[in-house]
Chain A
């Protein structure tokens, strides 16, 4: 194989176009690759001007590139992204055609600067450009989707900000969004500050809390602000699966204001209870004080008459000692009652009721109320002894007040205890005629009272309900009931307390 044959073989088999061209655009050589793609044979184009076959050629650019290559004695280039192509060669492709003309990357290499000859190498970059083109299209679509997505996000943000609650969104356990209320509530300025925090990071001392028990229902917790301050809040966590990722949505209602109101009510209620207690103490102390006074006066009189014998003195002193002991015991009872409980203890329900009745003894006696206790079984509770007393005393005082308005000759309060459905049940029933149906639904509301301002604060039954529900974890209901006692028909209110055992 001689040099010419080698040259021809290489030129005819190489996978790109080769043109030997002069400065005037006259073609001196044209390889097989170009022949087959343009259907113009070398014999047809040889010594002809390239422009005659390709009138759309950008002559100005080509001239410049040839001139530069020759001048620099270094190659110049056509970039297929920018120039697209040098020769408009229609593509023979039938399917999936993106471009009509072959995309070309071109290198113009100086060959002979004296003769003004350059070699033009043409590379088919259609495939690459197609991929780029598709990528660009995808990119455009992506941008469109992005715009839509951003609008969606804006809508969600608007929605989030429009709600009354602070909202937090967690993805795979980490915070990804919140509303302005959420930022404000926790004292954050920027959304960035809360990103990637976990739910538990917002909770006080709850690192071991198992949230799975709390999904979808509101629960009360202490939350921590950015500055470390705590506040009470009601939170609800909803769990959803979105695009295969776990999303938790937490709504937070700040309870601090509500809590301080509650605290105020509790304080007012305590004061009211103390006022009532002083009344009760007065009732209860009158009798023993009378006994003491009588015994002491008796002794004094007998002494003056010099008729005091050992026996009388002994009896009178015994009576005084007994009465003072009684007074002392009642002080303990009142003190216990007013102090409240610090922790749960085990106590007997019957004894608790006995103690309550003894506190109210004076009041009940002066109102001539008969107490009838029915204890079906001996019941031991593990709860707050004094809190329960407070609740029962409130109900009994309320019954006492109900009798005051009405003129009922035989006044009864029935206290029944029994077990039902694993709950200790305390029923307190009177025959004072019952609660008017128009107000029966309201009697547990705070500041609701039917009594004259000087008599009632409207907090008694509200506090009773709070104690039973929040502290004792039980339930309290009220209904009007009709019943028989000693063949007599009675009508009254029946309060039922249920405490889980």
Chain B
């Protein structure tokens, strides 16, 4: 062994000792960098194209939504997980893309903040509970689950939208999430992703994948 090799090991140790185990984020801990901005930029062309489509679609979807059973004014007051349904319609799709659950039901979020909702349960269909904490905020573990791509590595586009997103942009993102090529999002999981995004952003668009949402036939993925 040469002196240089020894010095290399020492130098590596000096660098890596700056990382301590007790400082590491948990598996579901905060993301170290803001991924939302970077990922959203990748979808910018899609969003731009989809906006055109949505301008047409919104005219059809809004009346349907207005007549459907509305969600609570603020989803924070509704921590219950919705039941799955089949209300989403799309001219070219006949089956829901719901896939097998990525995980067995178990306890999670050992490092997630928010003591009022410390346990995340993952259902067989990939949905999670509780979605919201007792104080009405998004359950950090649930948010990390969806944003972190726990469902087949897929981050729902609806969670990448800025708080200023229009109704049309949100509908477009939801449709793209459900019907996009290779998307693993089912009606239930997408509804949850929307609910989290809506709660965080303060949207009151009453989008409900269960009770009916019309999506354009093409151009959303």
Instruction: Answer yes or no: are A and B bound together in one complex.
Output: no
Residues of A at the B interface (CB closer than 8 Å) are none
